[in-house]
C-alpha cells in the first residue's frame, strides 16, 4: 500500500506549501459579525501558505491557487482533481468516496481486526 501525502522525508523535493498545508488547523468554526451561523475554515491558499481560510476570506485570494480541504469520516481529505494540478500524486493511494476521487492528507486509520477468523495482511496488518 502506498503512503498518503504526509509521509515525506526531510530531504524530499516537495513544494514549499505542502508541509504548512498539512499542519494548518482546519474546520475551526467561528461566527461572522454576529451572524447566527458558524463558518468553518476549510480552504488553503498555496501562495500565501498561512493558516486555513473561510469562504469570506477568499476575496483576498482571488488570483491565488487555493484548494478546499474536506472531511471524510472525521479525516482531512482533498479531491484528486484539485491537488494534482500542483503536485504529482501518482504514487499516492487514492480512494473513491461519494463518487469523488480523494487523497487522505494524513495516514488513513486501518479498521480494527475482527474477532475470530480474519484475513489480515501479515506484513502491514
pTM of the model: 0.74
Residue 76 counted as domain residue: yes
Residue 66 counted as domain residue: yes
Tell me how far apart the alpha carbons of residues 1 and 124 are, in angstroms, rounded to a whole number: 9
pLDDT band at 1; cut points 50, 70, 90: very low
Residue among 63, 37, 35, 66 at smallest CA distance from 50: 66
Residue 117 counted as domain residue: no
Residue 115 counted as domain residue: no
Number of domains composing the chain: 1
Question: Residues 5-45: pLDDT tens digits?
Answer: 554 555 567 899 999 999 999 998 876 666 656 788 999 99
Query: How far, in Å, are 64, 89, 107, 113, 114 from residue 110 at the CA level?
Result: 35, 21, 9, 9, 12
Residue 11 counted as domain residue: yes
Residue 65 counted as domain residue: yes
> Which comes out higher in pLDDT, residue 95 or 107?
95
The parent domain of residue 90 ranges over 5-104
**What does the pLDDT read at residue 116?**
61
Residue 121 counted as domain residue: no
Amino acid at each position: 500500500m502506498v503512503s498518503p501525502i504526509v509521509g515525506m522525508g526531510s530531504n524530499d523535493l516537495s513544494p514549499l506549501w505542502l508541509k504548512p498545508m498539512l499542519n494548518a488547523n482546519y474546520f475551526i468554526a467561528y461566527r461572522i459579525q454576529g451572524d447566527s451561523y458558524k463558518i468553518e475554515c476549510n480552504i488553503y491558499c498555496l501562495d500565501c501558505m498561512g493558516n486555513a481560510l473561510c469562504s469570506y476570506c477568499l476575496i483576498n485570494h482571488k488570483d491565488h491557487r487555493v484548494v478546499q480541504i474536506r472531511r471524510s469520516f472525521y479525516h482531512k481529505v482533498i479531491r484528486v482533481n484539485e491537488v494534482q494540478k500542483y503536485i504529482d500524486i501518482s504514487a499516492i493511494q487514492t480512494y473513491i468516496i461519494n463518487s469523488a476521487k480523494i487523497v487522505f492528507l494524513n495516514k488513513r486509520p486501518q479498521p480494527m481486526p475482527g474477532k475470530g477468523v480474519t484475513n489480515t495482511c501479515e506484513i502491514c496488518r
